[in-house]
Structure formats: structure tokens, C-alpha cells
Structure 1
Amino acid sequence: MAAETCSALALAPLLGANSTAAAQYLCSQFDTVSLQLTDAKSAIDSTYLLFSAYLVFAMQLGFAMLCAGSVRAKNTMNIMLTNVIDAAAGGLFYYLFGFAFAFGAPSNPFIGRHFFGLKDVPAPGFDYSYFLYQWAFAIAAAGITSGSIAERTQFVAYLIYSSFLTGFVYPIVSHWIWSADGWASAARSAPHGLLFGSGVIDFAGSGVVHMVGGIAGLWGALIEGPRIGRFDHGGRSVALRGHSATLVVLGTFLLWFGWYGFNPGSFITILNSYGPIGSIHGQWSAVGRTAVTTTLAGCSAALTTLFVKRLQTGHWTVTDVCNGLLGGFAAITSGCSVVDPWAAVICGFVSAWVLIGFNKLAEN
């Protein structure tokens, strides 16, 4: 939002006769303060977005620890390497192509076509901090898949997959939903009547990030098949336990921590407007509310998983609880900014049953 400007011609009659000079002085002071407020708003918003990007990036360490603890010890180095590659290859390919495909407006409804290699950035509406935040999202989408195809993927194949997903697949999907030009974007859907005129509203990426990573992981698992030893000769499921519950719990808490950048950070700005001199209006209450709904959904899903798995197996299982917790976070991500806290609890409860049901289905 542009700062308000002062008109000396409009102000002079209010100050009485021979007051043009005074009006010009007051206007100069007003414009100076407005410019300072603009600079302060930009600095605060950029700092908030960068901090959120750092939190989301910390999720890569969470993915690495979670996956490392969930596989057998002999495959630890390989799975951790894939998570490093997600960040490194994803950074380069998202810089060269991904950001342009996602947010290169003006463009067509399918794919962006500007800002390749960050050419012409900064641009009106965003700066480098916005690129960094979106890159952290892109590599998170790639990281979701690594666990689905763990222990049975050649390194070169994973390198190609990671580069392709972060540089092409994920950016196109995010363009559809989050770019103002996207065919499913809420910003352009009203004239077209998509989804009753509302468009696709995905605040922080339940679909754009988690569903893209999940579908990629599903296809990878279907193509590669089960891990060696997952089923016995009679076709019965064999549990393959990870070698370290400690790493699983560490990774889960790191992901929980990073989710506070993922969901609340998706507001992009924390100061949304300013009015008269000295009056700045923020959306910090909405940011706090989003953090609360995120927390409650995860907690509800974790406890639901805990007791359901206890009834099923007769044991308290920490790895199942961790998976349930993360499932609750993924489920609330889309609507975290608008649902009531009590609704977030229900969302987490339902997500736990979905997770348990699909885990059971995967065993058959």
C-alpha cells in the first residue's frame, strides 16, 4: 500500500490567510514521516518473511532426521544425502527456472514466464526475501517424497527427480493456485466461476506443497515397488522398523518448529496497512491465531493416533504418534488462517483416522 501524500493547496485554506508557506512546511514534514513509515514497514515485513524462511528451511533438517531414523541403519547415509540434494539442487533449479514458472507474472494461466535467474528482481510487490521463502517451500515439497521411496532408489535417479520437481513440477502447480494469473487462483476466478467463484484457496500449501510431494511419492512407490523384505513369501506384511526412534522424535520436533514459519509465515507480511501519522495496523493477531490452530491440529492428531494404535496393537508407539502429529499439521495447513481453534482440533482428529486407514490399506 502506498503512503498517503499531502497537498499544500488543499491544506492552505484550513490554516487561514497567507498560510501557503506553513502548509508547504507541514506537508513536507508529513511526507517525510510517511516515507519513514514506508521504510519501516518494508524492513519489518522483510525481516518477518526472512525469519519465516529460515524456519521453513530448518524443516529440511527435520526431514533428514525423520527419514534417517525411519530406515535401517545401513541406509542412513543414503537417505540423508537425498535430503541434502533436495536443498542444493532445488536451490539452483528454483533460481534458474522454478521461481519464474511459479510467479513470473504477467503470464498465461498455466505457467509463468518472467524472472528467470531472478532477472529484474526486486520487482513491484516482492523482493529477494520472497524468493528465499518460496524456495524453502519448493524443497519442502521435494523432501516429502524422500521417505516414500527410501531404501530402494538409485542416487542419480533421485537427483533427476529432485531437480525436476523443484524446477518444473512444483512451480507450475504453485502458479496455478498462488499466482494472480493462475487458472485456479482465487485472485482471478470470480469472472470464470471456478469452484462457485471462489477459486482454490490454499493458504499455506496443504495441496500445493503436501499433495504435490505426496502424489510424487505415491508414484515413486508404485513404480519402484515395496522395499526388499517388506512382504514374506506368502505375501504377508512384515514390519520394517527404523533403527532410531530418537532420530524420528528429533526430526518430528524440528518439523513442528519449522511449521511455525510454514503456516503463520504464509501471511508474507505482518504489517498490512498504515493510516494517520504514527498509526500502523498489523495482522499479528491473525498470525498468532494461525500458530494456535496449527498447534491444536497436530496435538489432536497425535493423541488420536496414540490411543487408536494402542487399541490396535496393545502398545504405545512413538513413531506412529510422530507420523500422526505430522499428518495433523499437513491437514490444517490449507485452512489454518480461517478455522476456529475448536475446528482445528476436529481437523486433526479426522486426519489421524485418514492416516491410519491408508497405512492399513498399504499393508494389503
Structure 2
Amino acid sequence: MEASWEQSVTNSINTIYLLFSAYLVFVMQIGFAMISAGSVRAKNAMNIMLINVVDAVVGSISFYLFGFAFAYGDSNPFIGTNLFALANIPNGTYDYSFFLYQWAFAIAVAGITSGSIAERTQFSAYLVFSFFLSGFVYPIVAHWVWSSSAWLSASSSEPFLGSGAIDFAGSGVVHLVGAIAGLWGSIIEGPRVGRFDAFGKPIPLRGHNATLVVIGTFLLWFGWFGFNPGSFDKIVVAYPSTSDEGNWTSVGRIAVVTTLAGSTASIVTLFSRRLLIGHWDAMDVCNGLLGGFVDITSGCSVVEPWAAIICGFVSAWILIGLNILALKMNYDDPLEAAQLHGGCGTWGLLFTGLFAKEEFVIQAYNKGDIGVVRPYGLILGGGFGLIGAQTVEIFAIIVWVSATMWPMFYALNRLKLLRISTDEEVAGLDISSHGGYAYTHAYAYQEDNYPRSYANYMHIQDEQS
């Protein structure tokens, strides 16, 4: 009787913790929305806010119908089974709180991709790719890494290369997936009108509200305390109500290393960009902070605080370098999403393979069992097993997402369902697709040198009013 009572209390605490973490991760959707809205021009603010809502609601349906089953079906190492698996919860082992937590991750992926193709994409295209990405593309990768029956899982009984890929909270599964999808969408669409001049020189198209960006950044920081410390329940063998996987005493350390990596990346970005451009830039600091969070997400459970500082330092220079490279290649990503989530997500996976501590790896993936031996960070003497698995995860994600998302964006483009017309883009998505601006007199925030088509449009609007 006493054991049963203790188990009931343990299950209750685990469920409450998991649900609270899920709520924190969902708060990140508010952060995404704020950053996205502040980073675009005022004439597109309503459009990007609506897109962030759509990413969440469409992702809810697709993840319920298909995504959860693909991610956590347990009979196939490459593609999960049991479609509509959530319907089996009352009579099976599935747990609603676990589903909610996984759903919060799934809808975050589409938000990353949306940032890369902002300000020039048809609204209907968002509906298509959000459904496909949340319901199929992302869940397959989640299955590979987080399902105990899958080929790359570090929780597998026979892990790949003796280690499996350690991607604790999703530097690759979430961030790199969203970034590669956004990269292909942005490449196929091409840059925004006016982003580069006739000689290929970049022209700044600044976002209209730095306040929203800063608020959104702090909301994401807050949400990351659910994203990383809450992720113990993503590596469990079964589901949180039936497993005690992981050493819960490390939850505080995970929150600390997350904070240190982000803070280091932010301060390095602040001073580095000051040297490069000659002034302090709040937007760069915010992106640097997020880059640090993205890269520590993979190894947050298995590294020391000092290693997190190294992680953040390198992250800042990766982001700065990729942004410079993007401009040289005439690549246009309004939110730097591909550079931030892709570049920093890749570094995060490699960083884990270099700096993971053996004791912490065993804590997270073997319940701290004495006598267990498994690969850990290469720099710490742990051999090539872990860094090899991390590298394989990177290439597997790039190949899988490219093979699925590139054809989808290409098909939408050929069907003329992807990019809006030049006149609509100049006028702004708010007025061309949503019937009005998010702000009164939003056109006052825009460039002074509009093409004549836009001037004619405004003249007609004045006459009608």
C-alpha cells in the first residue's frame, strides 16, 4: 500500500512538471510572434502575426492525426507506426501530458521556417508547409533521435556506434530541421524586392519595432527553461507515467548551462558587432542570445557550465560569419532563421560530441547506473563514437529535410502558389492579403522610394476613403 502511494505521488509530480514545461514551451510561440512581428516592416505585421497563429493551430491538427504516431511508433526504426496513435490513449500506454509536450515542440519547427520566407510568401503556402512539416517531416526526425526503438536514439538498447546521437532538447531535431526547410523555401523564392541593388549590394530592410523583438527574446528565454530542463521526458524508454529515466538532480544544472551559453553568445555578439559596424545593435544582441540557446540545447544535460561558455563563444562567431556569408551570396532571410537555427544548431550537435561528460551522459541516458561504459566527449577522452553519431545526425537531417521540403516548395513555386506578386509585395501583405494594416497609417513607416504602382495604389485608396 505504501509503495503504491509513493508511486502515485511520483507520477503526479512528474506529470505536473511535464505539463508545466509544456506550458513554458508553448509560451515560446508568443516569443516567436513578437520577434517575427518586430523584425518585419509594418506593412507585413498583421500577416506575420497571423502566420504564427496558423503554424500553431495547423500543427495541432497534423501532429494529432499523423505526427505523434510517426514520432513515437515503436515497431520501426525509421518510420513510426500506429497512425492516429493518440486515439489509443484510454486503452493503452500513451499519456496526454507527454503528447502535449511533444506537440509544443512540433509547432515550434514551423515557426522557424516561417521566419525565413517572411514578407513575400502567399498565405496559402504557409498552410500547406505547416501541415506537412509538423505532421510528417519533423516527426520522422524526432522518431530517429528520441524514440527508444529508433536507429539514432541514445536510449536504444543497442545504440548507433555504441552511443547514439545525444540531442537532448533538439538542436538538430527542432532547430536544424526548421532551418533547412526555411533555407530551401527562401532560396526557391528568392530575396525580397529591394533587398539587393542591381550590383548585388545589400540594402537594409529594417524591422519596424525593436521593442517587440526584445520582448519576444525575453519570452523565448523564459520558455527555454521548459524547452531544455523539461526534456528529460523526451528521452524516456516509454512514457513519463511509467518511467523514472534520468537523474532529476541535474535539472538545475541544465537551466544554468542554458543561461550561460546564451549570455556568453549575446555579449560576444554585442562587442563583435560593435567592432564590425561601429555601433551597438540590440537586434544583433538578441539574435546572439538565441543562437547560444539553440546550440546548448543539444548537450545541456551532459556538459559542465564552463563548457557552456565555450559553446556560446563559438556560437556568436558562427552566427556573425554566416550572416556575412549570406549577404555575399545574396541570400535573404528576414529573421536570420536559417543562419541562427541552422548554423548554431549544427554547432550544438558537434559541441556535444566534443564536450559531453561521461558521468552526465550516464545520468541522463542510463539512470546513473554504476559500471556502465559508453562514449562521451572526444576532447574529454571519450573516443569517436559520440562525435560520429552527432555527425551522422547532422547529415541525416540535411538529407531528409532537403529531400522532402525542397520538392514541396518547388512544386508550390511552379504552381504559382508560393510567392506573391511584386505589386502585392511592395504594397504589403497586410493590405493585399488581409484587408488592412496592423497599424493606422502603416505606410508611414515604409521606404520613401515606392514604385509607381504602389503610389497609384495609395492614390486610389485616398480617393475611395
Normalising by structure 2, report the TM-score: 0.67
Larger Rg: 1
Which segments of 5 or more consecutive residues in structure 1 lack a partner in the other structure?
1-31, 270-279
Aligned position for 1:39: 8
Q: Structure 2: how far apart are the matches of 1:78 and 1:331?
A: 29
The 8 Å contact of residues 88 and 94 in structure 2, kept in 1 or not, is answered as: no
Aligned equivalents of 2:279, 2:307: Cα separation in 1: 29
Aligned counterpart in structure 2 of residue 360 of structure 1, from 324, 334, 339: 324
What is aligned with 2:206?
241
Distance of aligned partners of 1:298 and 1:125 in 2 relative to their CA distance in 1, 3 Å threshold: farther
Aligned residue among 122, 131, 139 for 2:107: 139
Q: Deviations over 1:131-173 (max 9, x none)?
A: 0000000001111111111101100011100000000000011
1:180-226 C-alpha deviation (Å, 9 max, x unpaired): 121211233736xxx53111111110000000001111111111111
2:321 maps to a residue whose letter is: G
CA distance in 1, matches of 2:188, 2:81: 32
Equivalent of residue 336 in structure 1, options 300, 304, 307: 300
Q: Decide whether aligned partners of structure 1 residues 128 and 316 sit closer, same or farther in structure 2, where only a CA change above 3 A counts.
A: same
Distance apart, 1:315 and its partner CA: 0.4
Matched, 1:351 2:327: no
- State the SS of the aligned residue for 2:89: coil
CA distance in 1, matches of 2:300, 2:92: 28
Residue 251 of structure 2 corresponds to which residue in structure 1? 287
1:283 Cα deviation after fit: 4.0
Distance 1:33 1:261, change over 3 A: same
Q: CA deviation at 1:124?
A: 6.3
Q: Check if 1:63 corresponds to 2:32.
A: yes
Deviation digits for residues 288-339 of structure 1 (CA, Å, limit 9, x no counterpart):
0000000000000000000000000110000000000000000000000111
Write the letter of the residue equivalent to 1:138: A
Provide the rounded CA distance (Å) in 2 between the counterparts of 1:123 and 1:345: 47
**Equivalent residues of 2:232, 2:246 under 8 A apart:** no
Deviations 1:210-266 (A, max 9, x none): 000011111111111111111012210111110000000011000000000000000
Residue aligning to 1:307: 271
Distance 1:281 1:319, change over 3 A: closer
Corresponding residue of 2:41: 72
Aligned: 1:318 with 2:282? yes
Q: Do structure 1's residue 179 and structure 2's residue 144 form an aligned pair?
A: no
Distance (whole Å) between structure 2 residues aligned to residue 50 and residue 262 of structure 1: 12
Q: 1:189 to 1:44 in 2, by over 3 A?
A: closer
Cα distance in 1, alignment partners of residues 41 and 32 from structure 2: 16
Corresponding residue number in structure 1 for 2:76: 108
Count of residue correspondences: 321
Give the root-mean-square deviation of aligned CA atoms.
2.0
* 1:231 counterpart = 2:196: yes
C-alpha distance in structure 2 between counterparts of 1:110 and 1:187, whole Å: 15
1:319 is paired with a residue whose SS is helix
- The question of whether the paired residues in 2 share the 8 Å contact of 1:306 and 1:321 is answered with yes
| Distance (whole Å) between structure 1 residues aligned to residue 276 and residue 90 of structure 2 | 55
Q: Using a 3 Å threshold, how does the CA distance of structure 1 residues 221 and 291 change in structure 2: closer, same or farther?
A: same
Contact 1:189 1:199 in 2 (8 A): no
State the AA in 2 paired with 1:160.
V
Offset, 1:69:
0.2
| Structure 2 CA distance for aligned equivalents of residues 125 and 245 of structure 1 | 46
Contact in 2 for aligned 1:189/1:197 (Cα 8 Å): no
Counterpart Cα distance in 2 of 1:157 and 1:290: 37
Q: Secondary structure of the equivalent of 2:279? A: coil
User: 2:23 is paired with a residue of what secondary structure?
Assistant: helix
For 1:259-296, what per-residue CA distance to the aligned partner results, in whole angstroms no more than 9, with x for missing partners?
00000000129xxxxxxxxxx99944300000000000
Distance in 2 between residues matched to 1:122 and 1:297, nearest whole Å:
41
Q: Could you say which residue in structure 2 is the equivalent of 1:26?
A: none
Distance in 2, matches of 1:246 and 1:186, equals 41
Contact 1:301-1:328 within 8 A present in 2 as well: yes
Cα pair distance change 1:48/1:115, threshold 3 Å:
farther
Give the Cα separation in 1 of the matches to 2:90 and 2:5.
20
1:260: which partner in 2?
225
Partner of residue 216 from structure 1, selected from 175, 181, 184: 181
Equivalent residue letter for 2:87: K
The separation in 2 between residues aligned to 1:189 and 1:215, in whole angstroms, is: 30
